[in-house]
């Protein structure tokens, strides 16, 4: 029997892929899967801070809202910020990394000093400061700030790859054949830098999700009616001793989702990096 393809033999990768698939499916299908309107504040009394039961598998919060429905909907903010921010970060980071690595010299020096400056700030503190500049916090502001601060890692990775690739024979050959800067960068350098780029971007998604939850926890991210795991954690911390499910379930969802993304990233690195190949 021929051995299974390599990705299917990598346990971390498989576990990560499964968690990410579950998380993505739950978030995308939240309108179908959620048993209740996540905002519904039903009438009557007695149903607040209710423990997990058949009608509310993950219990209810202080307003009597169904925690399961809110956890499912909360995944959407996490997914949107995690993937959305990373997409823009990759575009921005690749552009800067390619330019710096390919042209070298003063262009490289200038771009990398900017990168150093951005990286020198503690990013969460800087993010809090930047969001304070906006009159009203919100998920859109989180998006802008995370993109503005997040591109540096990708830029560094791409630049490093480009520095080593551009001295290689196939690049020299392309240049000798009269290839323009643009063609060399996009057709020869970038495709060869995809492996480390993919790994860095995947890990970045997890970082964005944690940052979004952190900012929402502080009240600087998603604003009601947008549901975010971070905001749910903030609401639930008051009841940690008496109604732990209000905080524990969104916390666990965040933990598993980020764990999944990171396992996936690690797995990709193992699978794509030739030096780690057994």
Partner 1 sequence: MTRAALAAALLVVLVASALSGAAVAAKPGGTLRMVFMADPPTLDPAHATDLTSSAVIRQVFDALLELDEKLVPAPALAERWMVSADHRAYTFHLRRGAKFHNGREVRAADVKYSFERAARGKRPWVFEKLVGAREFIQGGAPEIAGVRVVDDATVELRLERPFAPFLHLIAYDAASIVPREEADRRGAGFASHPVGTGAFRFGSWRRDDQVVLERFPEHFRGPANLERVVFRVIPAEATRFNEYAAGQLDVSDIPTGRCRALQADPKLKADVAIWPTLGTSALRFNVERAPFTDARVRRAIAHAIDPAIIVNRVLEGCVAPAQGIVPPVLAGWTATAKRLPLDRERARSLLAEAGFPGGRGLGPLAYHFNTGDLNQRIAEALQAQLKEVGVALELRRLDWAAHIKVVDDGSAGFFRQGWIADYPDPENFLTVLFHSRNVGPPGNTSRYRNPAVDRLFDEADTMAPGAQRVKRYQEAEQVILDDAAWVSLYHYASRALIKPHVKGLERSPQSTAPEFLAPLRKVWLER
- If the CB atoms of residues 222 and 263 are measured against partner 1, the closer one turns out to be 222
- If the CB atoms of residues 46 and 274 are measured against partner 1, the closer one turns out to be 46
Count of C-beta atoms within a 10 Å radius of residue 49: 18
- If the CB atoms of residues 120 and 133 are measured against partner 1, the closer one turns out to be 133
Least Å distance, CB 215 to partner 1, is 14
Least Å distance, CB 76 to partner 1, is 18
d(CA 95, CA 126): 23
Would the CA dihedral through 154, 155, 160, 162 be positive or negative? Answer: positive
Least Å distance, CB 84 to partner 1, is 22
Count Cβ atoms within 10 A of the Cβ of residue 3 and give its class: 0-12 exposed, 13-18 middle, 19 or more buried: exposed
Count Cβ atoms within 10 A of the Cβ of residue 50 and give its class: 0-12 exposed, 13-18 middle, 19 or more buried: middle
- If the CB atoms of residues 49 and 155 are measured against partner 1, the closer one turns out to be 49
- If the CB atoms of residues 3 and 45 are measured against partner 1, the closer one turns out to be 45
Contacts with partner 1 by CB under 8 A lie at: 39-41, 43-46, 48-49, 62-64, 136, 219, 223-225, 235, 238-239, 241-243
**How far separated are the first and last CA of the chain, in Å rounded?**
20
Least Å distance, CB 223 to partner 1, is 6
Least Å distance, CB 236 to partner 1, is 10
Least Å distance, CB 255 to partner 1, is 23
Which among 46, 43, 47 has a CA at the least distance from the CA of 55?
Answer: 47
Which residues, 6+ apart, have CB-to-CB distance to 265 below 8 Å? 16, 199, 202, 203, 205, 206
- If the CB atoms of residues 64 and 265 are measured against partner 1, the closer one turns out to be 64
- If the CB atoms of residues 29 and 41 are measured against partner 1, the closer one turns out to be 41
Least Å distance, CB 229 to partner 1, is 16
Which among 72, 205, 88, 202 has a CA at the least distance from the CA of 140?
Answer: 88
Question: Which three-class secondary structure state does DSSP give residue 136?
Answer: coil
For residue 206, CA distances in Å to 6, 202, 230 come to: 24, 7, 14
Least Å distance, CB 240 to partner 1, is 9
Count Cβ atoms within 10 A of the Cβ of residue 57 and give its class: 0-12 exposed, 13-18 middle, 19 or more buried: middle
- If the CB atoms of residues 39 and 175 are measured against partner 1, the closer one turns out to be 39
Q: Please answer whether residues 209 and 78 qualify as being in contact, where contact means their C-beta atoms are separated by less than 8 angstroms.
A: yes
């Amino acid at each position: 029997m021929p051995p299974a393809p390599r990705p299917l033999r990598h346990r971390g990768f498989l576990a990560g892929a499964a968690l990410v698939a579950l998380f993505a499916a739950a978030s995308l299908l939240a309108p179908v899967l959620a048993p209740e309107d996540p905002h519904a504040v039903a009438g009557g009394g007695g149903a607040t801070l209710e423990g997990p039961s058949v009608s509310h598998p993950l219990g209810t919060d202080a307003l009597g809202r169904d925690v399961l429905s809110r956890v499912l909907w909360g995944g959407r903010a996490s997914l949107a910020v995690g993937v959305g921010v990373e997409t823009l970060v990759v575009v921005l980071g690749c552009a800067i990394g390619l330019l710096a690595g390919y042209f070298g010299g003063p262009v490289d020096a200038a771009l990398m000093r900017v990168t150093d400056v951005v990286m020198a700030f503690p990013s969460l503190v800087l993010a809090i400061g930047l969001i304070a500049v906006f009159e009203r916090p919100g998920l859109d502001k989180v998006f802008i700030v995370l993109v503005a601060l997040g591109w540096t890692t990708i830029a560094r990775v791409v630049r490093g790859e480009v520095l080593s690739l551009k001295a290689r024979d196939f690049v020299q050959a392309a240049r000798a054949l009269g290839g323009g800067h643009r063609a060399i960068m996009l057709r020869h350098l970038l495709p060869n830098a995809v492996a480390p780029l993919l790994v860095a971007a995947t890990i970045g998604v997890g970082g964005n999700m944690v940052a979004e939850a952190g900012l929402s926890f502080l009240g600087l991210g998603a604003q009601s009616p947008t549901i975010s795991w971070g905001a749910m954690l903030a609401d639930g911390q008051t009841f940690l001793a008496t109604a732990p499910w209000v905080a524990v379930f969104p916390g666990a969802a965040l933990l598993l989702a980020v764990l999944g993304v990171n396992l996936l990233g690690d797995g990709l690195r193992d699978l794509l990096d030739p030096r780690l190949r057994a």
